[in-house]
Amino acid sequence: MAWRGCFMKWAKINSLHAQFLSPRSSRLTIHPQQRCGFKKAQRQSETKRGLEEETAGQKHAVPPLPGEPVPPMPLPPRTPPSLFRPLVFTVGFTGCSFCTAAILQYESAKSRVQMAMEEAKEEKRDKLVEGHTTTYWHNWWNQLSHFQKQVILVLSVVDDWWSGLSEGQKTVTGIIALNTLVLCCWRIPSMQRSMVKYFTSNPASKTRCLPMVLSSFSHYSIIHMLANMYVLWTFSTSIVSMLGREEFLALYLSGGVISTFVSYVFKTTTGRLGPSLGASGAVLTVLAAVCTKIPEAKMGIVLLPMVSFTVGNALKALVALDTAGLLLRLRFFDHAAHLGGALFGVWYIAYGNAMIWRSREPLVRFWHELRNKPHGRPRPGGGGGQV
């Protein structure tokens, strides 16, 4: 029995040496890990086969044998992102924007009345001490150094330029400053991840609501920002004179959010998810509002001053181009956001102004009563007369 055991052990060792030294198996000895991997795969396949033979009426997947092509693993079905939260955010943000604008307009009108009354009192006071004030400021100017005088002159020039702007241009100047600040933040490498997360709108992202607002102030390209801000600057005087500063800001912010939501819907429906950024949706909302209100106004092109056309025709051309880009699935611009912003601007001038802004009187009255409500409680016994 001992000789038989030794002989069997010697025969098994020789068969293993012959197996690894044969030309047929030499191709499997390239990498040791690959060879061990094939051994494991063979054992697993044998186990799977045994299970398949034992169980009746059930089919088990058998891994491929060594040398056979491995079939690709099927990807799990990708569920489209939910748009319920962006929808609620869009409706809530639009309502809050117009409510805040109505309250700010009330506060602005009240402050202007108080300021006018104070200015009238100051004018009467200045007439009494006009000679003394002139002498005081003359002596104060002579005591300044040359550098201080130059700084004051530059500030006076800037103040004159600012005073010469219209109310719409002053409002848009703040929007341009915010866009410029965000553009500079894109150039900081340490802020790239935060900028992509919060300043680009993407329906596939985990953060979907806040970027709907912030992406309207975000531009990565300088040319993109200059084009949008030039159009906004051109129509700023007209739109603010028609609506007022507060209503214009509410329309601009709401247009940016609504256009982004329309882009979300289109991307989710077509499955072409991807990030977008820029103020084009909000700018087209303003442009469409002006074109709907005064469609016969003339406008031209900077590089072609001899060509002029009405703003109504310009709006029709832009809508046609964005519709064609949407149908052709062009990806250079976010045509869905452009169309969403333009349609919202047309709807607001036609119906939304009467439905939203002209119905703000109950809110303003409530705010007036809440603001002027006495904070202290009346004393017991009423009256309030002196003892």
- DSSP state letter for 371: H
Q: 98: which residues sit within 8 A by CB, 6+ positions away?
A: 247, 250, 254, 356, 357, 360
Cα dihedral sign, 168-171-174-176 = negative
> How far apart are the C-alpha atoms of 11 and 17, rounded to whole Å?
10
- DSSP state letter for 381: T
What is the largest distance, in Å, between two alpha-carbon atoms of the chain? 135
| Candidate list 201, 216, 280, 335, residue with the active-site label | 280
Which residue type, as a one-letter code, is found at position 187? R
Of 87, 88, 102, 91, the C-alpha closest to 250 is: 102
Of 223, 231, 336, 345, the C-alpha closest to 295 is: 345
> How far apart are the C-alpha atoms of 231 and 286, rounded to whole Å?
9
| Candidate list 338, 359, 368, 375, residue with the active-site label | 338
Question: Which run of H or of E encompasses 298?
Answer: strand 298-300
Q: State CA 387 to chain mean position distance.
A: 63
Active site residue 280: yes
What is the set of active-site residues? Answer: 280, 338
